[in-house]
Chain A
Amino acid sequence: MDGPLLSAQSVTREYRLGGSTVCAVSDVSLSVAGGEFVALLGSSGSGKSTLLNLLAGLDRPTSGAIFVQGRNLAQLSPIELARYRRQTAAMVFQSFNLLPRMTLEENVELPLRLEEVDRHERSARVTEALERVGLAQRRHHRPSELSGGEQQRGAIARALVNRPRVLFADEPTGNLDSKNGDHILELLHELQSVLRMTIVMVTHERPLAERYAQRLVILSDGKLISDQPLSPSATRGAAASVTASERAPSGASA
């Protein structure tokens, strides 16, 4: 792979809380190659979500630089940063964050509206994204009518619909039982292996991360304390077996 897709250099993010300053991320440097599946691991308050928000362009670092495809996010204008979130990066949250008043289809269509995609093209793109996550039949349901797993798959479809380069997932399995959590990670793994999508996932469940990710980055108290690749055989083998047995139908349709 030629050069990193994403690279954080000495990134620090401080917050002001009352009179004191809290350092959520402190001097973190990190590179992610295109098509890589990276897991950010750490306990609660370790700064992993803050780092993810910075990489996803939702927040700006207090100091340091974040380069994505050669452009420093810290120096982008608000409009350019919004375009980055729309076109290059997509986000999946722990609490799904589907808009409750819209149907699944409308939720998935939302990024296309923001990107001003042609109306004729939208419906096909929405269908494609929903079929990829296996929810084409549930398109007219509202989020409240879907299970947690379905909601998260819907959120992934929404993240996919603008065909981003990187998918940022913030504890995507945090609100799901283990079976649904497995399904979500299988789906993410499939996106990475089939669509060559780069995935950066925050989790505090080390076994899950070890099973699906290619690299484990561990944070503690805002600092990067470990960055190690996982052995390809262990990762791919485990994931491939599950994918082959349970995800074949939707994988085939995609």
Chain B
Amino acid sequence: MLIPPPHNHPAPPGEPRLSLSNITKRYPGVVANADVSLTVMPGEIHAVLGENGAGKSTLMKVIYGSIQADEGEIQWNGRQIVIPNPAAARKLGIGMVFQHFSLFETLTVTENIALALDEPFDLAALAERVKIVSEKYGLPLDPHRLVHSLSVGERQRVEIVRCLLQDPQLLILDEPTSVLTPQAVRKLFETLRQLASEGVSLLYISHKLHEIQELCDSATVMRGGRVTGHCKPAEESPASMARMMIGRDLPVCVAPEYTGSVGTSLEVRNLSLESPDPFGVSLKDVNLRVARGEVVGIAGISGNGQAELLAALSGEQTVGKGAILLDGVDVGQLNAGQRRDKGLGFVPEERLGRGAVPNMPLSWNAMLTAHRQPEMRKYTLLDFAAARDFAKRCIERFDVRCNGEQSVARSLSGGNLQKFIVGREIMQAPKVMVIAQPTWGVDVGASAFLRQTILDISRSGVGVLVISEELDELFEISDRIAVLAGGRLSEAVPKEQTDVERIGLLMVRNTEQEAA
């Protein structure tokens, strides 16, 4: 191996910080990365752009040493290296901010950070350093707080500070803005630019085109595990990057006028609810009305009462008399099954394990909620043939790609399972549909299909409530938008009368009220 002495090189731009060539990683049945190459210079903010399932996360795990590539080479500051595990990556100066945070709820900020540092164990001294570093980069943190008491944004700060304490030369951020308010995104970008100006290289993984345009110097676009192009985001348009990302134009949803009968479909009145979970958020005086034929969106970051509101709406948690009305009928004290009998359709955020039983075939998963359809029962026993038939129709009508109605739920991709679950609920002709994170982790094609499906059922006279972290999505399909933050729900306003900025402010304000 030849390592040229540094002074032989012309000063800027110097060696690449990181250079990947022909990385390939296979899993049973899929090639997650095929022949992927990319280069990051010191101080460069480099985007890795691609939709869900494009292989971005796998590539980052290879760089961070969590997994090993089957083929290909990694060069670090000009030297060919092997990264056997995350500890080795950290030693090299590679830090990673995870999408689903790698934090421990019952440990303090300092303890969490200590776990990722390979240095003598001295919590008191570390707490001091956490304070100093976090203030220097505008990421204020109390080192002694327990992580479960932190907001999602604060948790991300812990992750970032944890990396910064190791003097990283390369920082990987996996979809870092998916959990942040628009205002917090701006602050994060400031911090990232400050880091880049100090010479830190950044790998920024995202599927959000406008963010990449705003922040990144260059981008590598991935699709189906392969690199489909390199570009300078500043020189591209969102449409041109989208084409590189999905291979065609971004699909658009159509929202026709609603012309059916008017009336209230779902109503929540003065709902207050203490969370049974010690790490949960209690609901405070939530009021909401969803009319027939409309889609109401609830924006906000998960962990602000979303789980509690969903449990109260679905009936997994019963509430007081008169707090929830379904088509004018008080259902507050009914359980989940009884509310379905009254016409509630519900799609939870977790598909595997909640919306579907992972190891049961689709036909059985159809029975999970559709058992109340008369054709599913013969005498008092279950009719499995009817369940298979129901699943078959669902698969066909909602374009679920799978090996038939006998495939187990966990063998489906996220998007296809979501289509099945949404389909199962719609086929039971609900009067009200509540859908949480409809397109979380779903590819662009399936997302568009799901969003259009949501619009279509609403226009058929169903009241639809969508809870989502994706503001773009809510603005695309909602008629009115409210914000849930700190357990309080803002008034739902027509989307034409608001914008991302104002919604973001509501998220912040409610949370701060809570803290005060």
Partners in one complex: no
Q: Name A's B-contacting residues (CB within 8 A).
A: none
